Amino acid sequence: MDAPTALLRDTVDYVGHAPPPSHSAASRPRRWDGWAARAISRRRGFLAVVVAPTLVAALYLFGVAARQYESEAHFTVKTAAQSSSNYTTGLAQMFGVSGAMTPSQSESYSVGDYLTSHDAVTALRRRFDLVSMFHRPEADIASRLWDSHPAAEQLLKYYRRQVKVAYASETGITTLKVHAFRAADAQAIAEALLEMGEWRVNVLNQRALDNATRVAERQLNEAEVGLAASQGSMTHLRQSGRDIDPEHSSVADITMLAELRGQLAQSRAQLAAMGGAIQPDSPQYAAMTDRVRALQTQIDAEAGKLAGAPDAASRNLSAFESLKLRQDFASKRYEAAATALESARSDALKQQLYVVRVVEPDRPEKALFPQRWLILASVFFAALLTYGVGALIVAGVREHSA
């Protein structure tokens, strides 16, 4: 029953059962006071559930709540090779085809997760007094950081209330919002977080580069050790054999042996021709015989030097050729490992990430939070909805019990 109906009923009752009304000034306030008391009694549920919370919220929002400033920044994480794939990605998005997550997208998520982690809080505390920024004198008791020496978990929980990071998969842009009780504090925290995000990306780049080149560097070191060992063996063989180039020396010895054999054949032919013309005891015949004998001795010595003796050139040449083959293999292995390292490094550099600042952290001029009217309207309608649901429940219970 609403207030006008109740007032009309009271008036009718008064006219039908009471003595004629007095027109004195004292009787009218008592009648209105009684009506007000009855109206309040009938509406005490509405007053307690709807009006009282709304009034309390209004008193807090417009009389106690401290102003908070918001500094906003936008950034994106890209790779050096991302521009070449933008066209394909755009076509996939146009036709609604969702592909696998790109490295820049995954790293955007990881950077956002880092900016709201305890590592970020620790880094911020190294830069400036983060607790004092959240414990300003102008902050009200409900929105400030209560403890001036909070535990790490308590500070992290409050920090996540003041710092929000949101990634938009449609645009690839990450939005950073920082709330603080002073405009300069909000801008300083946002700027520091962007710098920390860039530092984090550089750490990830270095880690990816190290992982990509670790195997190639190990193979290059092994190839370098093998090449040095083969060169050392080659040097030892040259020093022990006292021959800089056994291969060329062997060729020279073979050439000289072939010349000696030619001279021997020529001398023997001359000696045979002389045997039919002069006596064997003649001085010319004896000299030619000595020449043939000397050439044969020299040929035997050279032949033994090349193949017959323990330190023959053939043995040294065989060892030299074996070491030469190993050295060539070690050189090719070293070149292949060096090429693989450069290729791995080049591929890793193409995948390097970098942070692109789309919107720099601004210095707010007006406090946008708390949103007093929006919060007050939300409290009022939530309380009104609660009251309505409760009234329906009570009416249903009464009807069922009747």
Judged by DSSP in three states, 301 sits in helix
**Whether 253 and 378 share a structural domain:** no
Indicate whether 10 belongs to any domain. yes
Indicate whether 253 belongs to any domain. yes
pLDDT surpasses 70 at 255: yes
pLDDT surpasses 80 at 38: no
CB 312 within 8 A of CB 305: yes
- Residue 401's pLDDT is what? 78
**Whether 190 and 167 share a structural domain:** yes
For 313, counting Cβ atoms within 10 Å of its Cβ (0-12 exposed, 13-18 middle, 19+ buried), the class is: buried
- DSSP alpha helices (H): ranges in 72-179? 86-94, 103-115, 118-127, 130-133, 152-162
Nearest to 277 by CA among 292, 266, 264, 288: 288
**Whether 23 and 51 share a structural domain:** no
DSSP line for 106-133: HHHHHHHHHHTSHHHHHHHHHHS-HHHH
- Residue 319's pLDDT is what? 66
Indicate whether 96 belongs to any domain. yes
Indicate whether 234 belongs to any domain. no
- Number of domains the chain is built from: 4
> Across 144-148, 162-166, 345-349, which has the greatest mean pLDDT?
162-166
> Across 63-72, 77-86, 346-355, 365-374, which has the greatest mean pLDDT?
63-72
Question: Alpha-carbon distance 335 to 338, whole Å?
Answer: 5
Judged by DSSP in three states, 280 sits in coil
The residue that leads in pLDDT, 136 or 10, is: 136
CB 244 within 8 A of CB 238: yes
- Residue 250's pLDDT is what? 59
pLDDT surpasses 70 at 204: yes
DSSP line for 186-225: HHHHHHHHHHHHHHHHHHHHHHHHHHHHHHHHHHHHHHHH
Name residue, tokens 């102003």. Answer: 67
Indicate whether 121 belongs to any domain. yes
Indicate whether 220 belongs to any domain. no
**Whether 199 and 305 share a structural domain:** no
What number is the average pLDDT over the span 167-172?
A: 88
Tens-place pLDDT, residues 18-37: 444 444 444 455 555 555 56
Count, residues in the chain? 402
CATH code, 144? 3.30.1890
Question: Alpha-carbon distance 273 to 285, whole Å?
Answer: 10
pTM check: above 0.85: no
Name residue, tokens 């790109």. Answer: 102
Written as one letter, the residue type at 349 is L
**Whether 355 and 206 share a structural domain:** yes
Q: How does the average pLDDT of the chain come out, rounded? A: 77
- Residue 106's pLDDT is what? 77
**Whether 311 and 385 share a structural domain:** no
Cross-strand pairs, 77: 355
DSSP line for 313-334: HHHHHHHHHHHHHHHHHHHHHH
pLDDT surpasses 90 at 170: no
Indicate whether 229 belongs to any domain. no
Question: Alpha-carbon distance 71 to 179, whole Å?
Answer: 7
**Whether 297 and 378 share a structural domain:** no
- Residue 121's pLDDT is what? 95
Question: Alpha-carbon distance 61 to 375, whole Å?
Answer: 8
The model's confidence at residue 186, banded by pLDDT at 50, 70 and 90, is very high
Asked whether the CA dihedral 162, 165, 168, 174 is positive or negative, the reply is positive
User: Under 8 Å CB-to-CB from 57, ≥6 apart: which residues?
Assistant: 375, 376, 379, 380
Contacts of 145-152 with C-beta under 8 Å, sequence gap 24+, read 152/118, 152/121
Question: Alpha-carbon distance 109 to 100, whole Å?
Answer: 14
- Residue 116's pLDDT is what? 94
Tens-place pLDDT, residues 62-106: 888 889 999 999 999 887 665 544 444 444 444 444 445 566 677
- Residue 309's pLDDT is what? 52
- Residue 337's pLDDT is what? 85
Nearest to 163 by CA among 118, 200, 199, 126: 118
Indicate whether 235 belongs to any domain. no
**Whether 153 and 101 share a structural domain:** yes
Containing 357, the helix (H) or strand (E) segment is: strand 353-359
- Residue 184's pLDDT is what? 94
**Whether 253 and 294 share a structural domain:** yes
CB 165 within 8 A of CB 116: yes
Tens-place pLDDT, residues 277-330: 777 777 777 777 777 777 777 776 666 665 555 554 555 656 666 777 787 888
**Whether 73 and 208 share a structural domain:** yes
Tokens, residue 288: 């030619």
The model's confidence at residue 50, banded by pLDDT at 50, 70 and 90, is confident
Domain that holds residue 327: 243-349
**Whether 115 and 176 share a structural domain:** yes
**Whether 13 and 137 share a structural domain:** no
What number is the average pLDDT over the span 221-235?
A: 80
